[in-house]
A and B are shown apart, each in its own frame.
Chain A
Amino acid sequence: EAGVTQSPTHLIKTRGQQATLRCSPISGHTSVYWYQQALGLGLQFLLWYDEGEERNRGNFPPRFSGRQFPNYSSELNVNALELEDSALYLCASSPVGDTTSTDTQYFGPGTRLTVL
């Protein structure tokens, strides 16, 4: 079974540009989560998508946005990039996004975004 995949592996942008990161969940998983992991810091919850809808978002400005496609893959868009956006962005998927939260989140390898 293929795991969560993310692309690109590395992304280098300059301040003010836009970045688009992509995630493909494990087949059969409908929920996709995005996290930011800045160097030396813990995982910060960004966004949760389930069945094509945004279910929740963390404490990030509106320039962080995304969407989930009918095939459950997802995009994370970061507009007006700032230097502090440099981080590893992790995507995770789980089978069902419901209130029980008993589902394991499976992480992808991440996209390393560097803002110069």
Chain B
Amino acid sequence: QQPVQSPQAVILREGEDAVINCSSSKALYSVHWYRQKHGEAPVFLMILLKGGEQKGHDKISASFNEKKQQSSLYLTASQLSYSGTYFCGTEVSGTYKYIFGTGTRLKVLA
């Protein structure tokens, strides 16, 4: 079953913050986050492994709670370039299957 992302869509003003959640019904080994702009291929943002780690670069960070089978992506002081659809990609523990989340459309307005 596909991980569920929330919210489905969000509109921000430049400089505002956003949180995107990814929730799986299965135990996860890792979570990847991607951003896809309209008409383009997804671009890798970061990967988190089980162990509850948190990562970040620039003003984008993420956390992974393996017990809750959830990951969250944090966007701070959003920029226009952050607009796009964000996907979490998950690897279910014990498999090699990558299952992507339902996606979150993010639009940043000037």
Contact = CB atoms under 8 A, between A and B. Distances in A.
**Is A bound to B?**
yes
Interface of A: 33, 35, 42-45, 48, 55-56, 58, 90, 97, 99, 101-102, 104-110
Contacts of A110: 41
Contacts of A107: 34, 41-44
Interface string B6-45: 0000000000000000000000011010100000111110
Contacts of B91: 101
Interface of B: 2, 29-30, 32, 34, 40-44, 47, 49, 87, 89, 91, 95-103
B103 A101 contact: no
B100 A56 contact: no
Nearest to B91: A101
Nearest to B49: A102
B32 A56 contact: no
Contact of A33 (B29, B98, B103): B98
Q: Main SS of the interface on chain B?
A: strand
B2 A42 contact: yes
Contact of B42 (A58, A90, A102): A90
B44 A104 contact: yes
B44 A45 contact: no
Most buried by B among A101, A102, A108: A101
A90 B30 contact: no
B41 A44 contact: no
A43 B97 contact: no
A97 B98 CA distance: 12
Contacts of A108: 41
A78 B35 CA distance: 27
